[in-house]
Amino acid sequence: MLDSYSPLTRGLVQAASFPLMEAIHGRRSRRFAKGASIPNGPLAFTSRHAPEALDPLEQMLLISTIAGNTGWANLFAHHPGYAGKLPNYTTAAGGRSFPSSAGFNTSEFFFTDDTGVYFLPTRDMTPVQTGGGADLNRWLEAHRARIVKLADGRLNIPAEMPHMEGHNTWCANVPGSTLVFPVADVAQQVILLLLYLVQNGTGIYDNVNGRPIPGLERYTHRLNLEVAYPMTFLEQVALTDASVEMGTACYAGALMLQALGLGGWMYTGLNPFTVLGASGDPAVPGLGFRFEKQEGNPLPHFTGLPGVFEAHVPPHHADMRAAVEAVVARKFGAGGPFDPAQKGPYKETAAMRGSAARIDAEAIEITTLMADYVLSSFGRFPATVPAVFLHTYLQAHRLDTEFYDTHFGTGAYLRTHADHDRNWS
């Protein structure tokens, strides 16, 4: 990847050659950044150094590692029930640096540093064409070009409860740090799972109210409702799958921290309602996501950030049918994984992409019927899990090794941390 990259810094060369096993075994949550202070207690320490931002190259390497497109997704190869067609679960033509359940890829990425708040959309990004081999410069520039600045200055997350957990108030989102966090469209994840069920011969039932979905009985020629999924179970699967996707992305970043010699850690101790935009304090607007409140439910139901990240629910789509059709279009429309005109990894890519089983009009009707039922019965979609979900964060900062030298024995940090400032000067 470095053959055509210039200039080659010592930090970049070291990161590119850093052993994976060392990154795995050397990963630790190293929270003490330059400029940090622990005022009292057995680990009391105040940094002698001013906060310092990441080097622009190492920041871009980190962000692209967490969110980046890394090639073409491999389509599902076989399903005995698809009569010689390829299964059509995959929803993005490109693959990213982390796995996604069934290739759904419903998450996107936000990050903040001292200069601003940013959005990096990569779920429908296609690979950078380099004419053979990996060109690090072109790969990084392709990702840099997709970054959208949303606001000036660091995202305001007050260093106090309830905006962040007490144990993070001294170290989270501190000056100089870069904070990266994925956000998932769980509504889309649920729609994709409903489509999956219909194509595999079943649906859901309302286990909250103990009744079948009215109208599904008209489709028993293709649905076995004796094995229908409980609605809440399907929604739990969607939320869990999205959580794994986002957590794995952040873990890739945590490994890259070791190679770069940066401090930081992945964590969940920031209030997602504050970050997304429901703090209740006008001075703490967060990202500004739209949300609704329902009687009897103390939690905000986020639906999207208009024009930036919009879940597959009204009002961002006219109705649930429009949301379902948008999901299908993501699969089969221009640039999707089943668009014969899309490039790909196969010797006969057009034939492969064109051989996927189609999602027929009746399948769309059935999926819409179930989605409409959930929305009308519960006043929201999904019924029991968030439409928009944020949980995991990855923070990177320049490590103050003097804290570790003072309070820890040898081995508290890696050689990359010890050499960081020389390598990235």
The CATH number of whichever domain residue 99 belongs to comes to 3.40.109.10
Average pLDDT over residues 66-75: 96
What pLDDT does 219 receive?
Answer: 98
- Per the domain annotation, does 389 fall within a domain? yes
Phi first, then psi: give them for residue 392, nearest 5 degrees.
-115, 140
Q: How does DSSP assign 135-196, residue by residue?
A: -HHHHHHHHHTT-EEEEES-----SSTTTB-GGGTTTTT-TT-EEEEEEEEHHHHHHHHHHH
Q: What is the pLDDT averaged over residues 361-378?
A: 99
List pLDDT tens digits, range 181-236.
Answer: 999 999 999 999 999 999 999 999 999 999 999 999 999 999 999 999 999 999 99
- What pLDDT score was predicted for residue 2? 74
For the entire predicted model, the pTM comes to: 0.96
Question: Is position 5 within any domain?
Answer: no
State the DSSP string of 271-298.
-HHHHHT-SS-TT--TT--EEE--TT--
- pLDDT tens profile 282-321: 999 999 999 999 999 999 999 999 999 999 999 999 999 9
> What is the average pLDDT across 9-25?
96
Half-sphere exposure of 20 (CA within 13 A, CB side): 2
The pLDDT of 149-169, averaged and rounded, is 98
**Quick check: 133 pLDDT over 80?**
no
> What pLDDT score was predicted for residue 5?
72
Instruction: Report, as an integer, the average pLDDT of 122-136.
Output: 80
Q: Which of 9-18, 152-161, 326-335, 379-388 has the lowest mean pLDDT?
A: 9-18
What is the structure's pLDDT at 28?
98
Q: Is residue 2 part of a domain?
A: no
- What was the pLDDT predicted at 131? 52
Residue 173 lies in a domain: yes
Percentage of the chain modeled with pLDDT above 70: 98
For residue 392, is pLDDT > 60? yes
pLDDT at 347 over 60: yes
Residue 181 has a pLDDT of 99
Mean pLDDT over the full length of the chain: 97
Mean pLDDT across the stretch 241-254?
98
Q: Please give the pLDDT value at position 425.
A: 81
> Is 40 a member of any domain?
yes
Kindly state whether residue 400 falls inside one of the protein's structural domains.
Answer: yes
Number of compact structural domains in the chain:
1
CA distance 324 to 340: 22
Strands (E), 197-272: 204-206, 211-212, 229-230, 263-267
CA distance 365 to 156: 44
Which range marks the domain in which residue 133 is found? 10-423
> Is residue 3 included in any domain, yes or no?
no
